[in-house]
A = this chain, B = another copy of it.
Amino acid sequence: MTDYPFLKKAGTPFKDTEITKVAEIIKEADRDNGEITGAGLIGAPLSKSSISHSGASFAPGTIRKALGGFSTYAIEDDTDLSRMTISDLGDVVMHVTDIKESQRRVFEAFDHVYKSNPQWLPIVLGGDNSVSFPSIQAFAKHKGSVGVIQFDAHHDVRNLEDGGPTNGTPFRSLLETETIEGQNLVQVGIRNFSNSKAYRAYAEEKGVAIYTMKDVRDKPVTGLLAEAVERMRERVDAIYVSVDMDVVDQAQAPGCPAIGPGGMDAVDLFDAVSFLGAEPKVKGIEVVEIDPTVDFRDMTSRLAAHVILYFLKAKMKENK
């Protein structure tokens, strides 16, 4: 087909020869091409596990699209991702009616990828926050002792009796299964009128470090994170960054199921993931809880794409 004049594969976008779009550095992963050694996207399109109605299962698609549309060049520090390759490992295929089986599949799929690709830097695209449990379980199985920096308006340590393993329970499951120790969990951006005293108490008893939005407003987030990373540096072999986009204010991230005012500024989040990306122990990131069906112009997926790009830029510089 390609040698007919002017005919291209359906949907081929406009190409400016002097701009590299992120889409151009994303390559479909192919086992025959050998090990994945750097950043690799993997989608976990599950949201039937959400407490409230959620279309977060569409987010791997919208984040990929937003990501692909930005360019690789960061002018502020003159960094270009254009020579990096981002592998795309595809999406976990979910079961239609068995939610726990879907969560098990996330673990199973991730487990196999980690096993075959020890150098893989996972960029996980949720889905809702319930995928964090199997995702981090697989991460921990292969990385040793693990710490997690969780950006979230909510603790997500709900009891499992009231509804099973939902988007409100992943960190409870991780703590209860001792996948991570409480002292190796850092929660950033916890918000007023969005949590309960009981769950805060639970988290504190487990030794979880909690930074509320007031903390984030009062001090530079990178300072808080430096503190947090320092505390766990000796204790853990690897750190995982979990970004629930609802940590950002509703005006800037309008496409999350549980939106509200008083949240984090997007630029602070970019600074935060830039700081974490530069830390060698940080070995994975996930972005969860975007529901594209209620978003405005995929604004929240565009934000997520920037979160990923700032993280990768920092990783790239760290690796130099």
Contact = CB atoms under 8 A, between A and B. Distances in A.
Interface of A: 1-12, 14-20, 22, 28-31, 42-43, 48-49, 51-53, 55, 57-58, 60-61, 64, 70-76, 78, 80, 82, 88-93, 95-100, 105, 108-109, 112-113, 116, 158-159, 161-166, 168, 190-200, 210, 212-214, 217, 249-252, 254, 259-262, 266-267, 270, 293-294, 296-297, 299, 302-303, 306, 309-310
A195 B164 CA distance: 35
A43 B4 CA distance: 13
A159 B262 contact: no
Given A12-B93, A73-B195, A158-B16, A293 B4 contact: no
Contacts of A210: 75
A20 to B, nearest CB: 7
B10 A64 contact: yes
Contacts of A158: 16, 18-19
A10 B96 contact: no
A74 B191 CA distance: 8
A265 to B, nearest CB: 10
Given A2-B31, A98-B100, 18 more contacts: A6-B93, A8-B91, A11-B61, A11-B91, A16-B159, A18-B158, A19-B196, A48-B99, A75-B200, A76-B213, A97-B99, A97-B165, A99-B99, A250-B297, A250-B302, A259-B299, A260-B306, A261-B302
A96 B169 CA distance: 12
